[in-house]
Amino acid sequence: MDKHDILERARDYIAKESDPAFKSEVEALIEADDMKELEDRFYRDLEFGTGGLRGVIGGGYNRMNSYVVRRATQGMCDYLKANVTGKSLSACVAYDSRHYSDVFSLDTALIFAANGIKAYLFTSLRPTPELSYAIRRLGADTGVVVTASHNPPAYNGYKAYWNDGSQVTEPHDAGIIDRVNAVRLIKSMPKDEAIAKGLLVMIDKDIDDAYVAMVKSKLFRPDLIKAMAKDVKVVYTPLHGTGAMPFERVMGELGLTVVTVPEQREPDGDFPTVSYPNPEEAAALKMALELGAEVKADVVMATDPDADRLGIAVPDGSGAYTLISGNQLGALHADYILLSLKELGRMPKRPGLIKSVVTTELQSRIAKAYGAECFDCLTGFKWIADTMRGFERDGVDFVYATEESYGYLVEDEVRDKDGISAAAMTAEMTMYWRSKGKSLLQRLDELFAEHGFHEERGVNKYFQGPTGMDVMRGIMDAYRENQPATLGGIAVERIRDIKTGKSWRIASPGAASSVDLPASDVIQWYLSDGTLVTVRPSGTEPKIKYYVLARTEVGAGGLDAARKASSAKVDAILADIKKVIG
């Protein structure tokens, strides 16, 4: 795209943008003749993908701003009105603590209202799982939460939901994208007019109360909690996001002592005490861990800005804390929930668990040990929700779902990951194992001893700028043209290419079988020792992601020997991967 085209698109944007701050940003760039920055903002439109929007906040078609949000919402309205007929339509809208989240959420609600779709808007910031819950409770036809999850402060985003409280999946995702791309006229109306006409309804307490009651109802042992809660101390950080209100309320009503990191309690879109507000990152929990050590906490917990992810750390017996990975906490949850259902005589007829294809195989082994089934799906909780719909059709009883990126779901009233209910279940689980004289780490070691030591690690590579997507496509194309015979010195036995829908053994490439998953740009290599290696470009960020899931039997040398063997194996595999991505 040459300079003339870039400037033409910039001036076109200025004419359409209603927010003066975003307009002036682009006007200043034109005045300064900053073509490098203008090109980045206008070489493409910020893509409304299968999960919605996510990008850097600012003026331009390749940025998150009022025009881009309003256009996306108009496209959703057009799709909804064309495909859901014979009833009055409604939508739920929520937002997190990021910059412009309140502005973008009101923009969204007023577009819905102007299109005759009643908009239920939270009066202040709320977690993403509560938005999913509200859609189902209010019987809404769609929903939006304005959030960029755990991305850096410069980002914001827009997640689109369907009437079952899950993020949109096919065919609605592609249909909405087509409508967004076809938008020519955007309708809106003033807030006062929307309220007066009953097209904008502000919500908060009724949904809050029902959501909190639902979270508490999912726990198994209220008597145990009542007996032990006063002796259990939780240190918590919402990382400047939405989690403090619901987390403190749920834990407080359970009788637990919660000490919230004071410097990180208040919502703040700058996330001033962390470089990256992601509970997957050890650095994000630094202040919580320091406070945990000071007050001798039994468990340290953190939620991300929209409180759909949960990270935890537990005492290791030496005065220090050990971070529990997403895969490990998911395995502990699965074990505890199935154990509880069995002990309490509440095991359903056909218990089903769900995990993504890049999540630990330890969960599958735990499920099998309890007589339950574990179902794989594509990465992303919208695919977990899609599998839950399949459960309803096929008579499978939902028990639990997880993905390795610190997402967990213990209830079916929500159809997205839920850091608040996961935290409540983690607190009860901690008390249960303490009542048995064990820590969470000790129980995890017992699971390893029974099912093999599982080590999961990954590596990400970012590719920013106009050529980033092309570089990632080139890497995936190169793999498909020349599949690796070994990784880390271990032979590749089988390959599964989810994009092409084929799976085959290296020894018999002509005898390929079909993959029972929707097409997605994912390649998986099954190694001769049982290790699984997966590569996929991210669907929300300009990066390519690799996952290594290794398993080592625990033999005569015990857990320590299995740990060392797994670590060496993963190191060698990652070294081969880095030769490809640099």
Q: What is the pLDDT of residue 462?
A: 87
304 burial (CB, 10 Å; 0-12 / 13-18 / 19+) is: buried
Closest-CA residue to 50 (of 179, 180, 181, 169)? 169
User: 538-566: b or e for each residue (b if 16 or more CB lie within 10 Å)?
Assistant: ebbbeebbbbbbbbbebeeeeeeebbebb
CA distance 351 to 372: 5
In 10 A of CB 385, how many CB atoms?
28
Query: Per the residue annotation, which of 132, 149, 166, 356 is the catalytic one?
Result: 149
Residues in the chain: 582
291 and 333 part of one domain: yes
Is residue 270 located within the same domain as residue 418? yes
Residues 267, 378, single domain; the answer is yes
pLDDT of res. 466: 67
For residue 541, the enclosing domain spans 453-581
The angle, 0 to 180 degrees and rounded to 10, between the axes of the packed helices 3-16 and 35-42 is 60
The CATH number of the domain where 500 resides is what?
3.30.310
Q: Is the peptide bond before 171 cis (omega within 30 degrees of 0)?
A: yes
Long-range contacts of 442-449 (CB under 8 A, 24+ apart): 443/332, 443/335, 444/324, 444/328, 444/331, 444/332, 445/559, 447/331, 447/332, 447/335, 447/362, 447/366, 448/554, 448/559, 448/562, 449/554, 449/559
Closest CA to 59 of 108, 25, 19: 25
| Domain match, 462 and 429 both | no
Is 48 a domain residue? Answer: yes
CA distance 387 to 392: 9
Strands (E), 446-568: 453-462, 486-487, 490-497, 502-505, 508-514, 523-527, 532-537, 543-552
The distance of Cα 236 from the centroid of its chain, to the nearest Å, equals 20
Greatest Cα pair distance, the chain, in angstroms, is 74
The total of other beta-carbon atoms located within 10 Å of residue 64's CB is 26
Q: Which residues on adjacent β-strands are paired with residue 160?
A: 144
Alpha carbon 249 to its chain centroid, in Å, reads 23
Asked whether residue 6 is domain-assigned, the answer is no
| Residue ending a domain, choose from 438, 461, 492 | 438
Same-domain status, 419 and 541? no
Instruction: Examine the fold and report which residue of 438, 462, 491 is the final residue of a domain before the chain moves on.
Output: 438
Between the alpha carbon of residue 104 and those of residues 65, 218, 387, the distances in Å are 8, 33, 31
Domain boundary pick from 381, 406, 438: 438
String of DSSP letters for 520-544: -S-EEEEETTS-EEEEEE-SSSSEE
Digits of tens for pLDDT over the chain (582 positions)? 789 999 999 999 999 999 999 999 999 999 999 999 999 999 999 988 767 899 999 999 999 999 999 999 999 999 999 999 999 999 999 999 999 999 999 999 999 999 999 999 999 999 999 999 999 999 999 999 999 998 899 999 999 999 999 999 888 988 999 999 999 999 999 999 999 999 999 999 999 999 999 999 999 999 999 999 999 999 999 999 999 999 999 999 999 999 999 999 999 999 999 999 999 999 999 999 999 999 999 999 999 999 999 999 999 988 899 999 999 999 999 999 999 999 999 999 999 999 999 999 999 999 999 999 999 999 989 999 999 999 999 999 999 999 999 999 999 999 999 999 999 999 999 999 999 999 999 999 999 999 999 999 999 998 877 677 888 889 999 999 999 999 999 999 999 999 999 999 998 888 899 999 999 999 999 999 989 999 998 766 678 999 999 999 998 899 999 999 999 999 999 999 999 988
Q: Are residues 196 and 226 in the same domain?
A: no
Is the domain of 383 the same as that of 311? Answer: yes
Give me the pLDDT at residue 539, please. 65
Rama region for 160: left / alpha / beta (φ>0; ψ in -120 to 50; rest): beta
Q: Using CA atoms, how far apart are residues 302 and 124, in angstroms rounded to an integer?
A: 21
Q: Is 149 a catalytic residue?
A: yes
Which candidate, 403, 364, 411, 360, places its Cα nearest to that of 381? 403
Question: Tokens for 44?
Answer: 């493409």
**What backbone torsions phi and psi does residue 193 show, to the nearest 5 degrees?**
-65, -40
Would you say residue 177 lies in a domain? yes
Q: Which residue, among 460, 458, 459, 456, has the nearest Cα to 448 in the 3D structure?
A: 456
The verdict on residue 20 lying in a domain is no
Distance of CA 233 to the CA centre of its chain: 27
What number of other Cβ atoms are within 10 A of residue 254's Cβ? 21
Flag whether 32 is in a domain. Answer: no
Total structural domains within the chain: 3
Strand partners, 55: 156
Residue 446 lies in a domain: no
CA angle 319, 325, 328 (to 5 degrees): 100
499 shares a domain with 422: no
Within this chain, do residues 231 and 294 fall inside the same structural domain, yes or no?
yes
Which H or E run includes 562?
helix 558-581
84 and 223 share a domain? no
Residue 355 lies in a domain: yes
How many whole angstroms separate alpha carbon 248 and alpha carbon 534? Answer: 38
Q: Can you give the CATH number for the domain in which 422 is found?
A: 3.40.120.10
Q: Is 3 contained in some domain?
A: no
**Burial grade of 521 (CB within 10 A; 0-12, 13-18, 19 or more):** middle
**Residue 259: predicted pLDDT:** 97
Same structural domain, 374 and 255? yes
How far apart are alpha carbons 548 and 118 in whole angstroms? 46
559 close to 453: Cβ distance less than 8 angstroms: yes
Pick from 213, 222, 220: which is nearest to 250 by CA? 213
Question: What are the phi and psi torsion angles at 495 (to 5°)?
Answer: -125, 135
What's the start-to-end Cα distance of the chain, in Å? Answer: 28
Integer angstrom CA distances of residue 15 from 41, 354, 467: 16, 47, 28
Same domain for 104 and 121, yes or no, is yes
Contacts of 144 (CB under 8 A, 6+ apart): 52, 73, 76, 91, 92, 93, 94, 105, 108, 131, 158, 159, 160, 161
